[in-house]
A = this chain, B = another copy of it.
């Protein structure tokens, strides 16, 4: 274990709409210095919509860097979202045209060991297919499938980002344990 930290000096070294990088200089009680770089992100939300039949609803969209891929609805908490749940409710409406009556917070985490900014993962149940035509992102397709279908898409490299994979894994465990 490290000895107690004496002083920390922080400065933001890079900032854009998506990313902000902070450099922390940590000075230990013995005078030893370390520099840590931290990726700061706004808070985010991830949602796994779960149907009454036990299927999941994923997005299918073209991503500039990854190609045509599937994933879970996700997004950043915006200024008008009073809390993460409000952000999650907005995101599943915008991305897959759904609302939900039952929300379960499954995981609160950071995206990586050098990162800050909480991400909140919810399972959404009691799904309602509302008339959200005007809100829905037209570049995103909504696809319903079984967990097994999703595992196959992972094997085929069509679900490529860890946040989406992680939500599907955690959602699967959540459903399995509940039905025991």
Chain A interfacial positions (CB closer than 8 Å to B): 1-2, 5, 13-14, 16-19, 21, 24, 26, 34, 36-39, 62-66, 68, 71, 74, 107-116, 119, 139, 141, 154, 157, 160-166, 169-170, 172-173, 176
For A162, give its contact among B65, B110, B141 (CB under 8 Å).
Answer: B110
For A161, give its contact among B17, B37, B110 (CB under 8 Å).
Answer: B110
**List of B residues within 8 angstroms of A17 by Cβ:** 37
| Nearest neighbor of A41 in chain B, beta-carbon distance | B112
**List of B residues within 8 angstroms of A157 by Cβ:** 108
For A19, give its contact among B37, B66, B71 (CB under 8 Å).
Answer: B37
- Could you tell me the distance between the alpha carbons of A66 and B119 in the complex, rounded to whole angstroms? 14
B161→A112 contact, CB < 8 A: yes
A36→B19 contact, CB < 8 A: no
- Could you tell me the distance between the alpha carbons of A62 and B21 in the complex, rounded to whole angstroms? 21
For A64, give its contact among B1, B36, B39 (CB under 8 Å).
Answer: B36
**List of B residues within 8 angstroms of A139 by Cβ:** 1-2
- Could you tell me the distance between the alpha carbons of A161 and B5 in the complex, rounded to whole angstroms? 22
A107→B154 contact, CB < 8 A: yes
**List of B residues within 8 angstroms of A26 by Cβ:** 64
